Structure 1
Amino acid sequence: MNTIIKKLTGMDALTEQVVAMDLLNSAKSGIRNYAMAITESGTPEIKATLIRHLEESLDMHEIILNYVMEKGWYQAWDRDKQTELNLQNIETVINLPTL
């Protein structure tokens, strides 16, 4: 999409928000998968490796979470504000011009 069109439609910020939130969801999924894999690991060495990866994933999740919260895109501890943000995003998408 053309940079001018992105700015006119508000898609430049929305695109960044979508990518960041997708990254946050992927981090959560990775954490869940590592935790499950740890419970199924067959050797202490594999378990230790998975635990190290889990800890790194938790650190990355925290970085991403702080970023999206600082930007105001995610209000993890305020359900009403998060609902309002979701509704605003829905309204933005609904009102995007069709090309």
Structure 2
Amino acid sequence: MYTDTESDERQQHLGWHETMEIHELVAFQSVGLMKLKKTYSDVRDPVLKSLYKQTIESISKNINELLRFYPMAPRPQRDERALPDDLAFYSGDLLAFAKTSVRNYAIAITETATPSLRNVLRRQLLGAIETHAKVFNYMYQRGFYPSYDLNRLLQNDMNLAKKALSFPY
């Protein structure tokens, strides 16, 4: 049996499933970090401002730690194309919101005993799924979410993460 340290040293690359999970985490946290930094100066309550600062620092640390695994991602070559600024950010934020909505509705349905409420949640879940598909298609058609090109997908993540980490607050 190997310890975690020994296993890490022996492992030369990530699995595809690990890579995709890291992609989801980095993309989601980078968008969240940008939003927190953009609103930081508007927060007036000192306790809340402190919570924002702690969260910004924590998410920044998370992103930096995860980015260290990107060189281990399975990909034959790198593509250095950068994302367009605001459209990619705003559509990515909307996609993350849509995805979270789908997950939240799916969880809420499993906690529902009232048939009429279950019907409403099912209808709203289908609407959230449709919204997710529309936003994804918008992003895919514009090259903001190159889901079938892992090299570009991961490069987009790194570009967004670097932008989020360097964004002033």
TM over 0.5: yes
Which residue is equivalent to 1:10?
A: none
Answer yes or no: is 1:50 the counterpart of 2:154.
Answer: no
Kindly report which structure 2 residues correspond to 1:18-57, keeping only aligned pairs within 5 A, or say none: 18-57=89-128
Answer yes or no: is 1:83 the counterpart of 2:154.
Answer: yes
Which residue is equivalent to 1:71?
A: 142
Q: Quickly say closer, same or farther: Cα 1:46–1:83, change in 2 above 3 A.
A: same
RMSD: 2.1
TM-score by length of 1: 0.73
Amino acid at match of 1:76: S
Q: Quickly say closer, same or farther: Cα 1:43–1:89, change in 2 above 3 A.
A: closer
In the alignment, structure 2 segments of 5+ residues that lack a partner are: 1-83
Deviations 1:6-59 (A, max 9, x none): xxxxxxx41121110000000000000000000001211100100000000100
Structure showing greater relative contact order (alpha-carbon pairs closer than 8 Å, 6 or more residues apart): 2
Partners of 2:159 and 2:114 lie apart in 1 by 48
In the alignment, structure 1 segments of 5+ residues that lack a partner are: 1-12
Paired positions, count: 83
